C-alpha cells in the first residue's frame, strides 16, 4: 500500500502537479466528463499548476466539495469569465504587484494597462468587439506557458503562429481591412531565417517590433525607432543623413521604404546603385535634380572595389594556405578587412558617398597588404622548390663523383 502511494506521488511529482491536486474534486470530476483536450487534461502543462496554484485560485469555489451546486453557492465563486471579462479576470493577480512578488517577481504587472492602450484593448473595451484578442487568445486557456517554455504559445518560435491564428486568416480579418500576408512575408524574412534556421531565439518575431500587451503597429515616424532598437548604428547614421528630412517631408516610412516591413530580405550590395535591382532607383533618377543617383553610383562603386580587393586577397591567401605556408598573420589581417567591409556596408545608411569611399579605402589598403604578403608567400614557396631542385642536382653530382672516386680507389686497391 505504502509502495503504491509512493509510486503515485512520484508520478504526480513527475507531472509537475502538486500533491494537493490529487485531492482536488474540481479536477477529479472534470477529468471524467471532459475530452482529452479539455481544461482538466491540459492543465498539467500549465505554469500556474506548476507554481502550486489550483482551479479555485482563479475560479473561486471550494475544491473539497463534490457537489457542483454547492460549489456555485460558495462566496467568491466566479466560474467561467466572458470574453470581455477575461482581461480583468487575469489582472486580479497579474496587476497585483504584492501578490505577484510571491510567485514570479520578474514578471511586470502592467499588462492590463498596456492592453488597454492596444488596438485589441481599445476595441474590446470601447466597441465591445468579441473578435479581438484578449489574454487567452494568445496565452491559451489552461495550458498557459512561460515564454521560455518551448511548448508555450508565447515562446519566440511560436509567436508568429499565435498571432497568425487571427492575422493570417483572411475571412476572420476581412472586416478590419488590414493585410493578412504578414506571417507568410515574415517567414521569408532574414529575421525568421535567423530564428528558425539559425536557432537564434533572440531574433525578432512579431512582438519584438509590435509590442506584446500594448500591441500596436509602428507608425511612420516611429518605425526607425523600432528598427533602431536593435540596428542602433544604422538608425543613428540614417538620422544624420539627408534622407531623414526628405522622408519626413514626404511622409515615407524610414527603414521600410528600402527594406520593406515583414518580408525583410537579407541586404545585399546590389541594393545600392544606379541601376535595378538597386532600391535607389525606386525614388531617384539621373535627372531628378538631386545627387541621389550619383551618390548611389559612387557608394556602390566603393563597396564593389572593396569586395573585389577582399576576394582577390582571400583567393591569394587560400593559395598560400594550400601550399602549406605559414599564414597566421595574414589570416588575422584578412579578418580586419572583413570587419572594415561590414563597417563600410553599415555606412551606406549615411548616404554619404565620401565617408563610404573613405572607409572602403581603409579596407582596400589592408586587403592590398594581404595580397602582396600572400604573393610573397607563394613566391617563397616556388623559391623553396627551386632551391630544393638545385640542391638535389648538386648533391646528385657529388654522389656520382664520389661513386666514380670509389670505383677508382677500389680498382687501385683490390684489382691485384
Partner 1 sequence: MAGGGVKEGLYARLYAWVNERFKVDALVDYMGDKKVPVHGHSAFYYLGGISLFLFIVQVVTGILLLMYYRPGADSAYESVRFIVANVQFGWLIRSIHSWSANLMILAVFLHMFTVFFTHAYRKPRELTWLSGIGLLGLALMFGFSGYLLPWNELAFFATRVGTGMAGAIPLIGESVMVIMRGGEEVTGATIGRFFGLHVAILPGIFTVLLAAHLIFIQRQGMSEPVQWAGKSEGAKRYQRFFPSFILRDLLVWLIVLNILAVLAVLFPDGIGVVHWPLGAKADPFAPPPEVIRPEWYFMFAFQALKLLPAHVLFIEGELFGIILFGIGGLVWTLVPFLDKKRADQKAQYLMAFGWFVVAFILAMTVMGYLV
Residues that bind partner 1 (CB under 8 A): 324, 326, 328-329, 384-385, 387-388, 391-392, 395-396, 398-399, 402-403, 405-406, 409-410, 413-414
Nearer to partner 1, 311 or 379 (CB): 379
Nearer to partner 1, 8 or 326 (CB): 326
Place of cell 488596438: 119
- 138-144: long-range contacts at Cβ-Cβ below 8 A with a sequence spacing of 24 or more? 138/162, 138/163, 138/212, 141/39, 142/39, 142/40, 142/42, 142/43, 142/46, 143/42, 143/43, 143/45, 143/46, 144/46, 144/47, 144/48
Nearer to partner 1, 111 or 373 (CB): 373
Alpha helices in 118-181 (DSSP H): 119-127, 135-139, 156-167, 170-173
Q: Least distance in Å: CB of 416 to partner 1?
A: 13
Nearer to partner 1, 72 or 405 (CB): 405
Return the C-alpha cell found at 315.
583567393
Q: Residue 128 — φ and ψ, nearest 5°? A: 50, 40
Return the C-alpha cell found at 14.
513527475
Nearer to partner 1, 342 or 400 (CB): 400
Q: Least distance in Å: CB of 20 to partner 1?
A: 46
Helices 232-239, 328-347: axis angle to 10 degrees equals 50
Q: Least distance in Å: CB of 374 to partner 1?
A: 13
- Asked if 151 and 164 count as a contact pair (C-beta separation under 8 A), the reply is no
Q: Least distance in Å: CB of 318 to partner 1?
A: 18
Nearer to partner 1, 339 or 392 (CB): 392
Q: Least distance in Å: CB of 328 to partner 1?
A: 7
- 135-143: long-range contacts at Cβ-Cβ below 8 A with a sequence spacing of 24 or more? 135/86, 135/87, 135/90, 135/111, 136/86, 137/165, 137/166, 138/162, 138/163, 138/212, 141/39, 142/39, 142/40, 142/42, 142/43, 142/46, 143/42, 143/43, 143/45, 143/46
DSSP state, 36?
A: T
Q: Least distance in Å: CB of 319 to partner 1?
A: 17
Q: Residue 158 — φ and ψ, nearest 5°? A: -105, -10
Cβ of 353: how many Cβ atoms within 10 Å? 20
Picking from 343, 344, 351, the residue whose alpha carbon sits closest to that of residue 244 is 351
Cβ of 198: how many Cβ atoms within 10 Å? 12
Radius of gyration (Cα) for the chain, nearest Å? 35
Nearer to partner 1, 8 or 409 (CB): 409
Sign of the CA dihedral running 31, 32, 36, 39 = negative
Nearer to partner 1, 176 or 381 (CB): 381
Nearer to partner 1, 174 or 409 (CB): 409
Q: Least distance in Å: CB of 383 to partner 1?
A: 10
Rounded CA separation 278/252 (Å): 18
Q: Least distance in Å: CB of 407 to partner 1?
A: 10
Q: Least distance in Å: CB of 333 to partner 1?
A: 13
Nearer to partner 1, 80 or 402 (CB): 402
DSSP state, 198?
A: S
Nearer to partner 1, 339 or 411 (CB): 411
Picking from 383, 384, 373, 362, the residue whose alpha carbon sits closest to that of residue 329 is 373
Q: Least distance in Å: CB of 402 to partner 1?
A: 5
Q: Least distance in Å: CB of 379 to partner 1?
A: 14
Amino acid at each position: 500500500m505504502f509502495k503504491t502511494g509512493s509510486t503515485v506521488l512520484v508520478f504526480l511529482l513527475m507531472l509537475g502537479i502538486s500533491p494537493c491536486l490529487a485531492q482536488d474534486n474540481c479536477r477529479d470530476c472534470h477529468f471524467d466528463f471532459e475530452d482529452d483536450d479539455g481544461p482538466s487534461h491540459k492543465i498539467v502543462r500549465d505554469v500556474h499548476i506548476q507554481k502550486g496554484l489550483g482551479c479555485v485560485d482563479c475560479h473561486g469555489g471550494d475544491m473539497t466539495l463534490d457537489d457542483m451546486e454547492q460549489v456555485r453557492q460558495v462566496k467568491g465563486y466566479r466560474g467561467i469569465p466572458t470574453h470581455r471579462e477575461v482581461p480583468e479576470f487575469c489582472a486580479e493577480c497579474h496587476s497585483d504587484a504584492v501578490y505577484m512578488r510571491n510567485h514570479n517577481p520578474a514578471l511586470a504587472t502592467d499588462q492590463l494597462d498596456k492592453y488597454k492602450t492596444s488596438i485589441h484593448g481599445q476595441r474590446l473595451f470601447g466597441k465591445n468587439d468579441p473578435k479581438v484578442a484578449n489574454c487567452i487568445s494568445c496565452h491559451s486557456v489552461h495550458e498557459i506557458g512561460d515564454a521560455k517554455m518551448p511548448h508555450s504559445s508565447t515562446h519566440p518560435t511560436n509567436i508568429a503562429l499565435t498571432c497568425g491564428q487571427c492575422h493570417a486568416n483572411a475571412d476572420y480579418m476581412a472586416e478590419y481591412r488590414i493585410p493578412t500576408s504578414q506571417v507568410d512575408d515574415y517567414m521569408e524574412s532574414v529575421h525568421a531565417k535567423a530564428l528558425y534556421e539559425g536557432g537564434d531565439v533572440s531574433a525578432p518575431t512579431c512582438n519584438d517590433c509590435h509590442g506584446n500587451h500594448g500591441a500596436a503597429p509602428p507608425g511612420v515616424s516611429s518605425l526607425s525607432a523600432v528598427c533602431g532598437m536593435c540596428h542602433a548604428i544604422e538608425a543613428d547614421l540614417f538620422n544624420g543623413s539627408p534622407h531623414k528630412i526628405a522622408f519626413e517631408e514626404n511622409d515615407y516610412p524610414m527603414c521600410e521604404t528600402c527594406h520593406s516591413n515583414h518580408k525583410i530580405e537579407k541586404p545585399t550590395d546590389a541594393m545600392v546603385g544606379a541601376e535595378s535591382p538597386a532600391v535607389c532607383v525606386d525614388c531617384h533618377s539621373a535627372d531628378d535634380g538631386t545627387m541621389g543617383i550619383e551618390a548611389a553610383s559612387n557608394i556602390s562603386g566603393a563597396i564593389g572595389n572593396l569586395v573585389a580587393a577582399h576576394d582577390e586577397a582571400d583567393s591569394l591567401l587560400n593559395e598560400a594556405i594550400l601550399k602549406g605556408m605559414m599564414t597566421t598573420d595574414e589570416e588575422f589581417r584578412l579578418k580586419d578587412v572583413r570587419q572594415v567591409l561590414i563597417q563600410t556596408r553599415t555606412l551606406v545608411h549615411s548616404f554619404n558617398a565620401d565617408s563610404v569611399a573613405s572607409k572602403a579605402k581603409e579596407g582596400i589598403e589592408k586587403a592590398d597588404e594581404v595580397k602582396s604578403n600572400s604573393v610573397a608567400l607563394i613566391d617563397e614557396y616556388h623559391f623553396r622548390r627551386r632551391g630544393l631542385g638545385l640542391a638535389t642536382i648538386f648533391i646528385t653530382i657529388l654522389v656520382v663523383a664520389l661513386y666514380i672516386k670509389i670505383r677508382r680507389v677500389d680498382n687501385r686497391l683490390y684489382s691485384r
